[in-house]
Structure formats: structure tokens, C-alpha cells
Amino acid sequence: MANKVIELAAEPYPFAFDPGRCALLIIDMQRDFLEPGGFGEMLGNDVSQLRRTIEPNRRLLAAWRAAGLPVLHTREGHRPDLFDLPPAKKARGRSATSIGDPGPMGRILVRGEPGHDIIAELYPEPGEPVIDKPGKGAFFATDLHAILEHRGIKQLVVTGVTTEVCVNTTVREANDRGYDCLVLEDCVGSYFPEFHAMGLKMIKAQGGIFGWVGDSETLIGALAGEKRLMKAS
Ligand code: C5J
């Protein structure tokens, strides 16, 4: 894709999308969070709030791959021996079922279990790094920053779930490491609509204190326009 900067409509002001230095980061689109019968639903959450993000993410991912731009996926989860699971995280919530216990799709949030894996609609292709993260932020205890630095990435388009937890934590971590983040509101979701709305407000407040908020259609349109430009030249 051409190495020119494209101004994308976004809030609080247009995002200077630089395709040559930008990666798509898809956060935790895992079966246990999104699928009916998974851990999220077992806890009483309305998974339709997250499932509405699947189709826009699928369309964006197809356009992004067609443009030949880098994409990375993350999964929240722990080693089967749980040695990387902080006891505080295990105990939090005082739930009858917690991380590492048997769930509807295998052991909950344990690497290698069916529920820990990414949903079929957005399944990573060979060559797309999958970052296994033990925390909420994708930079904590992972090699994400090194991978991005080695590829000259300075911007991230961030999608996935949930808006106020892993998406927000990752955007804040990225901001402190010098990345510009564009969060696509139709491609991120929360079990709680009010937290989704507030999570996006927090990112774009105060002149974009953590980043920008846009939508997938605008970005897909820009990618399509770029392809047309490339074909004409
Ligand atoms: C949560 C996440 N909500 N991916 N994880 O526990 O946001």
C-alpha cells in the first residue's frame, strides 16, 4: 500500500493514518468471551453486546488483509500450570467458578483450551502474530512492543473486547509507549453499554488524551480508495 498519510474522520479531530507505519491490533476476540455458552455468558453477561462487533471486525480484517497491512491478535489467558496467574486475580470476584476451573469450553482462560481460542470468524492467518497476554493490557509481560518496534510501527488501529477493560488498558499502555491509537467504536464492545460509551469518551477526552475514536466504514473506505489509487497509477 502507498506510503501516504490519509486524514480519517475521527474524534476529537482527524486521525493522520499512515498505512506504512500502522498495525491492526485485535484484542481478545475469544470464544469464552463472545460465544453463547461460554464463560462470559455463564457469568450472566449478555454476549450479544459483544457479538455485534464480529461483522464489522470481519469486514475490516478482510480489507486490511487485502491491503497487505500488518495485523496482530491478542488472547487473554494463562499457562496450564497457572504459575503466571496472580493469586489476587484468581480470587477476585469470589465466583464459584474462576480462572483455571473447568468451564463450558474447557478450563477457563487457560491457553490451549477451546474457549481460550479466537472465534472462527476472525481466526488468525499464518504470519499474523498472536500475543498471549496474562493481563488486561497487551503490553504487560508480552513481546508486543518489541514486535511492533522491529516492524517500524508507530500507530495502532485497536478493535476487540472489552471496551473498558482490555481495550482501554492496552490503549493506555500504548499511549505511554509513544503509539498513536485509533479505536473503532463499532469494532469494540462491552457487556455494559454505559461502560462502552464511557470507555470511548475517556480515550478521546481532553484533546485525545489516550487517542482517537473513529469507525470501521471510514477506514475501509480509505483502504478501498487507496487500492483504486494504486491500480490507476
Ligand atoms: C475482561 C477483556 N473483560 N478482554 N477481559 O476480563 O476485556
Active site residue 181: no
Confirm whether 54 is domain-assigned.
yes
How far, in Å, from the CA of 136 to the mean position of ligand 1? 6
Nearest CA owner, ligand 1 atom 4? 166
Structural domain tally of the chain? 1
- What pLDDT does 198 receive? 98
Reply yes or no on whether the pLDDT at 62 is more than 50. Answer: yes
Confirm whether 39 is domain-assigned.
yes
Confirm whether 222 is domain-assigned.
yes
Among candidate residues 159, 213, 218, the one with its CA nearest the CA of residue 190 = 159
Active site residue 28: yes
- What pLDDT does 147 receive? 98
- What pLDDT does 228 receive? 55
Tell me the CATH number at 154.
3.40.50.850
Atom of ligand 1 nearest to the CA of 28: 4
- What pLDDT does 229 receive? 47
Confirm whether 219 is domain-assigned.
yes
Confirm whether 220 is domain-assigned.
yes
Domain that holds residue 189: 6-11+21-204+214-226
Per-residue pLDDT tens digits for 69-104: 999 999 999 999 999 999 999 998 888 889 999 999
Confirm whether 209 is domain-assigned.
no
Per-residue pLDDT tens digits for 108-122: 999 999 999 999 999
Confirm whether 35 is domain-assigned.
yes
State whether the Cα torsion 130-112-184-142 is positive or negative: negative
- Best of 25, 26, 29, 33 to mutate for ligand 1, by most ligand atoms within 8 A of CB? 33
